[in-house]
Amino acid sequence: MKKINYIILGMALLGLSSCFKKDNYDGPDSGISGKIIDSYTGQPLLSSQNDWQLRIWEKSWTASTAVNQNIPIKQDGTYNNSKLFAGTYDMSVNLGPFWPIDTAKNVVFGKGGKQQDFTVTPYLQVVDFTTTVVGTNLTMTCRLKAPKRVLNGKNLPDLYDIKPYLSLTSFVGESNNINIPEYTGSKIIQIRKSWIVQYGDVDYSPVITLGPLIVKSGYTYNVRIGANVNIGSRPYNYSEIKQVIVP
């Protein structure tokens, strides 16, 4: 009886281990991180969480056509993916709100990761950003700046929207905002014209006023203004974020 038990156990062990094969492929030990730098300010580009993505294509894998992987850009203008396989990659940032730049070809991601910054020229800058609260009405103003209306023979695409963003968290922008009729629709300035037609051949727009927007007493809002041009997925250039405390 005991023998039979041993035989059964032995066979079970054999059965369980017979198909065993160790996955000996190393885990991803490379990565990519970096900043998107605004060429005007030298600082990371003012962004919103995951508005647009950096695209990478692994070129050292040749068994099939490379499919892009997307790495979201964070609110502070940085990005990071720490679990990639080492190899050569192409990198493109051209989904963002700035004049296109060349794809970075054959970037080597070695063991331990790689740091790669991109310097870009935003289509628009949102400057002189102010906020005023009177009672429960919030008014924001800003000026737009477009130092480059033509670059490499291409015109600045038409101005599209100037949009207020309000949020109750520290994340504020196109992907994180209080999306209610009071802050959208007619509260957005919808331009649909070229810079030249709208403002003339000048660097700065006049002061633009958004609002008044209804806010609630006793709340603290994080607010900013975004502006975009009619290209691609129409990503936004942002002002800095201001905190508004409604008494």
| Residues near other proteins (CB under 8 A) | 64-65, 94, 100, 157-158, 160, 179, 181, 184-186, 190, 192, 229-234
CA 193/CA 171 separation, integer angstroms: 30
103 or 243, CB closer to other proteins? 103
Q: Quote the least distance from Cβ 119 to other proteins, whole Å.
A: 19
Q: Quote the least distance from Cβ 215 to other proteins, whole Å.
A: 15
87 or 232, CB closer to other proteins? 232
Q: Quote the least distance from Cβ 104 to other proteins, whole Å.
A: 17
CA 101/CA 25 separation, integer angstroms: 36
Secondary structure (DSSP) of the chain: -HHHHHHHHHHHHHHHHHT-----SPPP-EEEEEEEEETTTSSBPP--TTSSEEEEEE-S--SS----EEEEPPTTSEEEEEEE-SEEEEEE-TTSSB-----EEEEEE-TT-EE--EEE-BS-EEEEEEEEEETTEEEEEEEEE-S-SEETTEEPPPEEEEEEEEESSS--BTTBS---GGGSGGGSEEEEE-HHHHH-S-SB---EEEEEEE--TT-EEEEEEEEEESSTT-PEEE---EEEE--
Q: Quote the least distance from Cβ 154 to other proteins, whole Å.
A: 9
1 or 63, CB closer to other proteins? 63
76 or 161, CB closer to other proteins? 161
105 or 192, CB closer to other proteins? 192
Q: Quote the least distance from Cβ 158 to other proteins, whole Å.
A: 7
185 or 206, CB closer to other proteins? 185
Q: Quote the least distance from Cβ 144 to other proteins, whole Å.
A: 17
C-alpha dihedral sign at 186, 187, 188, 193: positive
